[in-house]
């Protein structure tokens, strides 16, 4: 990785890898018991982090921001990759124990640590994430919220003292009266247990640097291929609108969706960093308004603007597609490893649309959007595509890394 302004200072990234790579590896490992997957996700995290470094607005949030990328990658990887390769625990944390510990003490501590991990893995995924971030990574509430894309209140609701049955799970797994532990004792117990279970990461920094650089090359190649697909599909759609206006989605909707966006898992939670205040929301709406105003005079219809934007997404651009036959506005929103497009196309009053969905890959249903009827397609990865036509003859479509509830909320906020 040669010095490159878009990545930031190369020497600082090397320091970041040395400091944070082992922590991210262990964070993923505690969730998966899969060392190989943990290392792969950590390398991918740094590769994407370097590419998206320009998006970091607050340097003080560097590690939570980097961890948020790992969280998003983990969500998709964990659903696609079900294999589990448990590491042999003893070798990984023996180096963290005092050299004069007896064999009996070593085995007892090993058993306790394994039982703590077993108990943690019986929690919900968000409870696991909060527990590991709080007790292993020693993160503050606001930084945990930033990394997970949730509110501070949600983080607090996932603490042991707030989760029904949390203490019962630990008490059952450990066969110990942890339920009677004072809060400070429980905090120390969980923290020391997780840190004792930390796996040793000793990959030479030059090897890590090379593996991360290779992932950057692969990611850029895939991004170019993805952009090429989007352009080809957009051209085809515009041509169909201009020639016949009879069908907006020829063929299975899922095939088109796969060409537009890579699969990213959505498990009903916000995928990315949440905006921190009403001021951020106001700033985002002002940016949208400015970009819309800049092109509105060249558009024959009033550009629609959603007032709700899913947490973590920021405006990337508002552009008019270059076509003489049909005015088409593409509003794009981006977050680390996620994209949403809101497309508005002017149509004739005789236009009709047809949506076909592969029943094995997607489910289609009619929905109400204010006074309009829309077609909502939910894909097997949990993402959605929403299509409706307004009384002003504007065909609207929302699609990308957005779940059905978020798509409907965006549409209804217009």
Secondary structure (DSSP) of 264-290: ----SS--SPPP-SHHHHHHHHHHHHH
Tell me the average pLDDT across 73-83: 65
Query: For 226-250, what is the mean pLDDT?
Result: 52
Q: Picking from 47-61, 67-81, 100-114, 168-182, which range would have the lowest pLDDT averaged per residue?
A: 100-114
pLDDT in tens, 332-372: 998 877 889 999 988 876 655 544 445 556 788 899 888 88
Query: What is the pLDDT at residue 350?
Result: 60
Locate 265 and state its tokens: 């898992």
Tally the C-alpha atoms within 13 A of residue 92's C-alpha that lie toward its C-beta: 22
Cα–Cα distance for residue pair 189/197, rounded to 1 Å:
12
Segment 39-64 shows an average pLDDT of: 88
Q: Is the pLDDT of residue 24 over 80?
A: yes
Residue 326: per-residue pLDDT: 75
- Among candidates 253, 239, 233, 227, which has minimal Cα distance to 387? 253
**Confidence category of residue 176, pLDDT binned at 50, 70, 90:** low
State which H helix or E strand residue 340 sits in.
strand 338-346
* Maximum average pLDDT range among 96-105, 293-302, 347-356: 293-302
Mean pLDDT of 96-103: 45
- Band (pLDDT 50/70/90 cuts) for residue 308 is confident
Question: Is the per-residue pLDDT at 143 higher than 90?
Answer: yes
Please state, rounded to an integer, the average pLDDT across all residues of the chain: 75
Assign 136 to helix, strand or coil: coil
Strand partners, 332: 317, 341
The tokens describing 61, both together, are: 């949030």
Least confident range of 84-98, 273-287, 368-382: 84-98
Q: Which residue has the higher pLDDT, 280 or 311?
A: 311
Q: Which residues, 6+ apart, have CB-to-CB distance to 362 below 8 Å?
A: 252, 253, 254, 257, 377, 378, 379, 380
pLDDT over threshold 50, residue 80:
yes
pLDDT at 250 exceeding the cut of 70: no
Q: What secondary structure does DSSP assign to 180-216, as a single string?
A: GS-HHHHHHHHHHHHHHTPPP----HHHHHHHHHHHH
The separation between the first and the last C-alpha atoms of the chain, rounded to the nearest angstrom, is 44
Estimate the crossing angle of helix 10-32 against helix 62-80, to 10 degrees. 40
User: What share of the chain in percent tops pLDDT 70?
Assistant: 69
The Cα–Cα gap between 91 and 33 comes to 14
The span from the CA of 174 to the CA of 168, in Å, is 10
Contact of 103 with 183, CB cutoff 8 Å: no
Beta strands 372-379; 384-389: pairing state: antiparallel
pLDDT value of residue 298: 87
* Whether the predicted pLDDT of 45 surpasses 70: yes
Q: What angle do CA 134, 277, 284 make, to 5 degrees?
A: 125
User: Which range has the top average pLDDT, 43-57, 134-148, 203-217, 330-344?
Assistant: 134-148
CB-based contact 403:266 (threshold 8 Å) = yes
Residue 259 predicted with pLDDT over 50: no
Of 400, 262, 235, 412, nearest to 331 (Cα)?
A: 400
Range among 54-63, 136-145, 183-192 rated most confident: 136-145
φ/ψ (deg, to 5) at 350: -95, 5
- pLDDT tens digits for range 177-235: 566 677 788 888 888 888 888 889 988 888 888 888 888 888 777 766 666 655 556 55
Residue 239 has pLDDT above 90, yes or no: no
Sheet of strand 372-379, all strands in order from the earlier edge strand to the far edge: 314-320, 328-335, 338-346, 394-400, 384-389, 372-379, 362-369
Q: In the prediction, which pLDDT does 322 show?
A: 72
Q: Across the strands, what pairs with 385?
A: 377, 399
On the question of pLDDT at 301 being above 60, the answer is yes
How many CB atoms lie under 10 A from the CB of residue 361?
16
CA Rg value for the chain = 24
Query: What integer pLDDT is reported at residue 363 of this predicted model?
Result: 82
Q: Report the C-alpha gap between 318 and 288 in whole angstroms.
A: 8
Contact 133, 27 (CB under 8 A): yes
Q: How confident is the model at residue 28 (pLDDT cuts 50, 70, 90)?
A: very high
| Residue 161: C-alpha distances to residues 156, 179, 318 (Å) | 9, 10, 46
């Amino acid at each position: 990785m040669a010095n490159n302004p878009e990545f930031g200072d190369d020497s600082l990234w090397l320091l970041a890898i040395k400091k944070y790579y082992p922590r991210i590896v262990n964070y993923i490992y505690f969730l998966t018991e899969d060392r190989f997957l943990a290392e792969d996700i950590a390398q991918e995290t740094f590769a994407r982090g370097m590419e998206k470094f320009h998006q970091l607005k607050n340097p003080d949030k560097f590690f939570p921001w980097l961890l948020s990328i790992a969280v998003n990658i983990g969500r998709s990887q964990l659903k696609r990759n079900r294999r589990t390769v448990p590491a042999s625990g003893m070798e990984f944390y023996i180096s963290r124990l005092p050299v004069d510990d007896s064999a009996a003490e070593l085995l007892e501590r090993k058993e306790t640590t394994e039982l703590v991990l077993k108990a943690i893995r019986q929690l919900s995924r968000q409870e696991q994430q909060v527990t590991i971030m709080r007790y292993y990574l020693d993160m503050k509430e606001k930084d945990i919220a930033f990394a997970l894309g949730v509110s501070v209140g949600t983080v607090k609701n996932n603490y042991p003292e707030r989760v029904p049955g949390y203490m019962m799970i630990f008490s059952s797994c450990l066969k110990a009266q942890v339920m009677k532990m004072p809060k400070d004792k429980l905090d120390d117990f969980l923290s020391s247990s997780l840190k004792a279970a930390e796996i040793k990461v000793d990959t030479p920094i030059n090897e890590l640097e090379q593996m991360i650089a290779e992932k950057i090359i692969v990611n850029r190649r895939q991004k170019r291929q993805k952009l090429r697909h989007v352009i080809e599909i957009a051209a085809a759609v515009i041509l169909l609108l201009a020639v016949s206006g009879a069908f907006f989605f020829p063929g299975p909707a899922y095939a088109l969706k796969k060409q537009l966006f890579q699969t990213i898992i959505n498990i009903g939670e916000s995928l990315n960093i949440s905006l921190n205040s009403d001021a951020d929301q106001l700033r985002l709406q002002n940016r949208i308004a400015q970009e819309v105003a800049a092109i509105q005079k060249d558009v024959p219809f009033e550009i629609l603007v959603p007032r709700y934007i899913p947490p973590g997404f920021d405006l990337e651009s508002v552009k008019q597609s270059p076509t003489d036959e049909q005015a088409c506005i593409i509003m794009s929103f981006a977050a680390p490893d996620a994209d949403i497009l809101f497309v508005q196309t002017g149509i004739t009053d005789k236009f009709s649309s047809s949506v076909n969905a592969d029943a094995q890959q997607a489910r289609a249903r009619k929905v109400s959007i204010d006074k309009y009827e829309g077609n909502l397609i939910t894909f097997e990865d949990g993402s959605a595509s929403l299509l409706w036509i307004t009384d002003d003859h504007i065909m609207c479509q929302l699609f990308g890394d957005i779940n059905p509830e978020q798509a409907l909320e965006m549409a209804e906020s217009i």
